[in-house]
Amino acid sequence: MMYCSFTDSASFLEKRLGRSPEVFLILRHGLSEWAERLSEIITVDWNEIPGLPALHSIGRGLTFTSGNMKGVEVLCLDGRLHYYEGYSMNEVVSPIHLASALGIKVFIFTCAVGLVSDRGKVGDTMIVRDYINLMGVDPTRGVEARKGQDRFTVVSNAFDRGLSNTALGLSRKLEIPVFEGVYAAVSGPTFETPAEVNCLRIMGADVVGMSLVPETVTAVREGGRVLAICLVANMAGSDFGGDEEVNRTVEGLTYKVFSLLDGIISRIAEGKV
């Protein structure tokens, strides 16, 4: 498979925005209103951008929002493509390729997760230190490396230490319950059984989710710095209210996470991270 070029997509978006974003955020469902805190906002519908995959998830669209905060140009996406929705892995990571083609080097990903270990509790925030990929697929598989790019991707330090330390410090300052841990990625969409959760715990996972890893691998391969912020929304393997309960929990954490994102962008603006 040839390397997927997003040059045309990036050129179109850059012309529409009239600016060069420095930070790319994926805001999970329930956090998209954070983008309204930006100034000089410009929105572009996913379907307007050439080269991006067609959306086929029922009742859901995606929008890019660009704006400025503290002098930092930010590009947000209000959701993501999930592998469990039937998208190919190349399609799942297409927003990362687009952001990279725009020259973006800082990636902040947010997601909801189920708790596996006893290191935290529902309602906490986890900053990802490492991951375990159990999705059974890798976004770089079969994709030809660009000239000068290694065929294999080193992810031993996938999550940027400076960004992670900043997020941890700000969380504590803002009195947001936080811990740092390991994210286990599964393909979904079925939630985990108690036996699977026990297996994940033995493997060293603290939380489990159905996204994040493909985006992280792609961003690292493109030379990006990655920060991943997880919202602990439920106890994995328990009898809970499914996606509706996850969304209710995330809603309760919204403004704490908004304050955290504000602080991170401010630190980037100050050149402290």
**Whether residue 252 has pLDDT greater than 70:** yes
Could you tell me the domains of the chain?
Answer: 7-269 (3.40.50.1580)
User: For residues 63 and 46, is the Cβ–Cβ distance under 8 A?
Assistant: yes
Q: What distance in Å separates the CA atoms of residue 246 and residue 263, rounded to the nearest whole number?
A: 25
Q: CB count, 10 Å around CB of 130?
A: 16
The set of long-range contacts for 39-47, using a CB threshold of 8 Å and a minimum separation of 24, is 39/67, 39/68, 39/69, 40/67, 40/68, 41/65, 41/66, 41/67, 42/16, 42/17, 42/18, 42/66, 42/67, 44/13, 44/16, 44/17
pTM of the model: 0.94
User: Looking at residues 3-20, what average pLDDT do you find?
Assistant: 89
Instruction: Mark out the alpha helices in 50-147 (DSSP H runs).
Output: 89-92, 94-101
Q: Three-class SS of residue 249?
A: helix
User: Looking at residues 63-80, what average pLDDT do you find?
Assistant: 97
Pick from 79, 102, 104, 83: which is nearest to 92 by CA? 83
Over residues 177-228, the pLDDT tens digits come to 999 999 999 999 999 999 999 999 999 999 999 999 999 999 999 999 999 9
Q: What is the pLDDT of residue 3?
A: 47
Over residues 92-102, the pLDDT tens digits come to 999 999 999 99
Angle, vertex CA 124, rays to CA 174 and CA 252, nearest 5: 80
Q: What is the pLDDT of residue 2?
A: 43
Q: 257: which residues sit within 8 A by CB, 6+ positions away?
A: 31, 34, 110, 125, 176, 229, 231
Q: What is the pLDDT of residue 43?
A: 98
- Residue % of the chain over a pLDDT of 90: 81
User: Looking at residues 248-254, what average pLDDT do you find?
Assistant: 77
Rounded mean pLDDT of the chain? 92
Residue 201 identity (one-letter amino acid): R
- Pairing between strand 106-115 and 23-26? parallel
Q: What distance in Å separates the CA atoms of residue 54 and residue 171, rounded to the nearest whole number?
A: 37
pLDDT bracket for residue 59 (50, 70, 90): low
- Of 16-30, 49-63, 108-122, 137-151, the poorest mean pLDDT is in 137-151
pLDDT bracket for residue 251 (50, 70, 90): confident
pLDDT bracket for residue 241 (50, 70, 90): low
Angle, vertex CA 236, rays to CA 233 and CA 238, nearest 5: 105
Over residues 129-183, the pLDDT tens digits come to 999 999 999 999 987 777 667 889 999 999 999 999 999 999 999 999 999 999 9
Q: What distance in Å separates the CA atoms of residue 230 and residue 137, rounded to the nearest whole number?
A: 22
